[in-house]
Amino acid sequence: MKSISILLLSFAIIIMLLLPIALAIGLRRKYRVPWVYFSVGVLTFIGAQIVHLPLNHLFETLEVLPDGSGSTDNVIAMAAILGLTAGVTEELSRAAGYSIVKKARRFQDGIMLGLGHGGIEAMLVAVVLATSVSSLVYFSEANESVVDLLPEQAVAIEKQINLLTETPMLAVAPLVERIIALAMQVSLSVIVLQAFVKRNWLYVLSAIIIHATFDFVAVYASNEISNVWLLEGILALFVLPFVLWIRRQRPVSIGRKDISRDDNGSELKLFYITLRKEGLYQWRSKRAMIVWAVFLVFGMMSPLIAKFTPQLLRNLEGAEQIAELIPEPSTVDAVGQFVQNLTQFGFILVILLGMGAIANEKEKGTAAMVLSKPLPRWAFVVSKYVSQSIVYLIGFLLALIAAFYYTQYLFGGLDPIGFTAASGLLLLWILVFASVTLLGSAIGRTTAIAAGIALLGSIILLIIGVIPNYGALAPAGLINWAGQLALNENGPANAGSLVMSLVIITIMVISSVGVFEGEEL
Amino acid sequence: MKGIAIRCEALTKHFGEVKALVALDLEVPEGAVFGFLGRNGAGKTTAIRLLTGLAQPTSGNAWVAGYKMTEGNNLGKINLGYLPEEPSFYTWMTPVEYLDYIGKIFFIESQERKIRIEELLNLTSLEKAARRRIGGFSRGMRQRLGLAQALIHAPKVLFLDEPTSALDPAGRRDVLDLINRLRSETTIFLSSHILADVERVCDSIGVIHEGQLMIVEDRDELLSKYGANVILIELDRQSLNRSLTFLNKLEALDWVQNISQEYESIRITVKDPNLANEYIVSLLVEEGLVLNRYEWVRPSLEEVFLSISQ
């Protein structure tokens, strides 16, 4: 596959991840919309899918939902049913969101909710896209005899690779499609909001119809029209009137002067000031030292344990037979130990060190002291996450150096680049749990409650990791990939789990800010 | 003409069923030292938390130095300083570091910050502890550091929540003196349950009871209304068991508002001091009661509440 299309696909993925956030930041600066509405939007999307996906599956098993092959009638029926299930579940979910969040009644609140709802959709599409990019790259490079594929799969992949090689610009199509869909989602959120503002449920009904029609057009047209750009053009035309309507309705901005102080970068400057304070805290409270010492020890111990466990056993009376059964340790064992230690103990360490970050300041009253000053709450929350991340990053560097040195010395045959990349993935995995802990700390009134929430969230994440099929996309997928990379093993990259981890971190940090902003100190 | 430093419009806060603050309407002019008087749990702290933007009202609005504080705007916080009842600090910092951090949040330039911190440490007599960890500070020291951090940016409005209640008499005097010194520079909103403190420094007083503002008045007016309407009588031990008829007779009078008795002391709140002087003394003689003490005294907060609510 040509590198240009990989580059374009990566670009598309990055924009899909950043666009909803960037728009939300812009909206927030203009209208001071609470971040929590973004999180509510994320929840309304996820809530809708929890009903939507099994519903589609049910229709499929009941054979109500045609497979879309063959006659035009079949395609029309399929497009209509898919559109309706999406419309009904998502719009009702949005309505449920507004009925719970009673304060979200301004026009701009609806837009924020829409950005969350459509934003998480775009981010999840980015995850799927990243997954397919990794497999495309892998299959286009791998020797076919190595790859175990069904013949149809091989044909489909080859077709896709050829298509992308011929017209690399096609790689941007999913991004264009997502931008249009995001505009649609924002419009729909604003329309459903009108049902609450004007106390007229017809708005929910019309949102369902518009959503169903949009999806119908998308599915039907994609079956009939082979030109991607024409298809996107039609969908863009569909959304255009709604976008224009939103532009006309938009309220007056609260004005720049009212937001920032002396200069434009004042909020960023305040973020930097708190970040420095948090850094000092990590140092003074010895947290940084503890993390670094623990990771350094893990880095050193992992290859040592791998090397000397059989020897220790041999010296133990009665255990000689077991020692015989253990094969001669190798680099694989050393790396295995390293990955295992970092992930198993790392995530507990992260929860222990992160649980009090916000909760403790709420409990003690130090947060109320500082936040009665003009310090934005987002800076307070995000600086905590960033300072922790920096501490873990340094810890990982120490572990990496130690583990690499000892493994190389005891076993040899380790690729420095692969091993570094693997450590990076493990760091990302740890940071996912740090972000879950941050949210726990933002929600919990006390450190104990925060710890409970963080632990619960982490366990849910770990459980998701072992669900067949979907599990590979969970952050746990990073661990396997890291193992592969460290040992230079052949296998597809798991960019899906990488993007998924970034998505989870982003949503967790935004939700932490959102939750904390709404709290009273 | 002076502007309005603090304004509340129907400011209301409910915590579930509890009505912590009910439709507070209040205006404090610039430069005033306003005393917010009420018992513990009357709604004083709730009002301050709403005014400083730490909590959001159930309904109503509040402005500080012209900035609306009730819609999550951080900007208004530039104009205010806040000392909570129990100030709490990062114990791993020193006062200099903490004040430096707070100064940075207000974008005070490095050179100016240094000078300002030194001034404040002098003002609050914390020079000697300037480089010690806050973790080991006494309550009084933390209170003083709390004042310093509230003042670092010379705020237009200063909120002090029970600033004296945790202090010993000397500390209390220091804080009250400090407030007196700040009088010309800033508007002060001081909450307290101690009438004597409020009386000493405030030039206008509001009384809050169970979330409701009972009265807002100039200090002198308030004191003239309620200031000297309590007679304290201390009976001799022997007279004590003969006092019942005396008390019953008093209770029957319509200008007597309240009578409370604790051992030999009797406190009588009256509406008309002149009438009371004449009548009570003659009644005492009539009943043949022996006095150890007869004095006009300041009413306690309880008595002010009772007078106001009647």
Give A145's pLDDT tier (boundaries 50, 70, 90). very low
- Chain A neighbors of B53, CB-CB under 8 A: 372
The CA-to-CA distance between both ends of chain B, in Å, stands at 36
DSSP helix/strand/coil, B83: strand
CA distance A211 to A220: 14
What distance in Å separates residue A119's CA from the closest CA in chain B? 25
- Percent of chain A whose predicted confidence (pLDDT) is above 70: 92
CB atoms within 10 A of CB B175: 23
Confidence of residue B158 (pLDDT cuts 50, 70, 90): very high
Cα A389 to Cα A430: distance, rounded to the nearest angstrom: 9
Q: A118: helix, coil or strand?
A: helix
Beta-ladder partners of A297: none
The residue of chain A with its CA nearest to that of B88 is: A366
pLDDT score of A354 more than 60: yes
- Residue B18 with chain A: CB contacts under 8 Å: none
Would you tell me which residues 267-326 of chain A have a C-beta closer than 8 angstroms to some C-beta of chain B? 269-270, 273, 277, 280-281, 284-285
| Contacts for A86 with CB less than 8 Å, ≥ 6 apart | A52, A211, A212, A215
* Lateral strand order in the sheet of B291-297: B256-262, B265-270, B230-235, B291-297
- How is residue B37 annotated by DSSP? E
What distance in Å separates residue B9's CA from the closest CA in chain A?
Answer: 20
**Nearest CB partner across the interface for A365, out of B53, B72, B88:** B88
Q: Which residues of A301-315 are buried (b: 16+ CB within 10 A; e: fewer)?
A: bbbebbbeebeebee
Quote the pLDDT of residue B212: 87
Q: How far is A364 from chain B (nearest CA, A)?
A: 7
Instruction: Say if CB A338 and CB A419 are below 8 A apart.
Output: no
* CA distance between the termini of chain A: 55
> What's the whole-number mean pLDDT along residues B97-107?
94
Residues of B at the A interface, defined by Cβ within 8 angstroms:
49, 52-56, 71-75, 77-78, 80, 82, 84, 86-90, 92, 97, 101-102, 104-107, 146, 149
The verdict on A521 touching B (C-beta cutoff 8 Å) is yes
pLDDT of B310 strictly over 60: no
Least confident window among A199-208, B27-36, B232-241: B232-241
* Minimum-distance CB partner of B105 among A280, A285, A374: A374
Is residue B200 helix, strand or coil?
Answer: helix
Taking residue A479's Cβ as centre, other Cβ atoms within 10 Å add up to 20
Residue of B nearest to A262 (CA): B107
DSSP A260: -
- Angle at which helices A377-410 and A331-354 cross, to 10°: 160
pLDDT score, position A170? 79
CB B216 within 8 Å of CB B206 = yes
pLDDT at res. A509: 97
Cα of A374 to nearest chain B Cα, Å: 5
Q: How far apart are CA A231 and CA A181, in angstroms?
A: 13
Q: How confident is the model at residue B228 (pLDDT cuts 50, 70, 90)?
A: low
Nearest residue of A to residue B145, measured between CA atoms: A369
Q: Which of B200, B263, B277 is nearest to B235 (CA)?
A: B263
Give me the mean pLDDT over the A105-112 stretch.
Answer: 92
Express each pLDDT in A228-242 by its tens digit.
889 899 999 999 999
Report percent pLDDT > 90 for chain B. 37
Please tell me the predicted confidence (pLDDT) of residue B2: 66
Q: Which residues of chain B does A258 touch, with a Cβ-Cβ cutoff of 8 Å?
A: 73, 75
Region B260-266: what's the mean pLDDT?
82
CA distance B143 to chain A (A): 12
Is residue A117 predicted with pLDDT exceeding 80?
A: yes
Which of B83, B90, B102, B106 would best serve as a mutation to test chain A binding (most A beta carbons within 10 A)?
A: B90
Of B80, B86, B105, the CB nearest to A365: B86
Tokens 């996912």 belong to which residue?
A432
Q: What is the DSSP string of B281-309?
A: HHHHHHHTPPEEEEEEEPPPHHHHHHHHH
Contact at 8 Å (CB) between A441 and A359?
Answer: yes
The predicted pLDDT at position A260 comes to 46
Could you tell me which of A468, A487, A278, A289 has the C-alpha nearest to residue A382?
A278
DSSP annotation of B190 reads E
Q: In the structure encoding, which two tokens stand for residue A497, read together?
A: 């789990």
Q: What is the pLDDT of residue A259?
A: 46
Rg (CA), chain B: 23
User: What letter represents residue A450's amino acid?
Assistant: A
Mean pLDDT of the B148-155 span: 93
Q: Which of B54, B92, B101 sits opposite A368 (nearest CB)?
A: B54
- Which pLDDT belongs to residue A69? 67
Q: Do A521 and B105 touch (CB under 8 A)?
A: no
Run of H or E residues at B263:
none
Per-residue pLDDT, B301: 63
Q: CA dist B294 to A212, B195, B230, B233, Å?
A: 88, 22, 11, 5
Q: With residue B159 as reference, give the H or E element that holds it.
A: strand B157-161
B243's enclosing H/E stretch is none
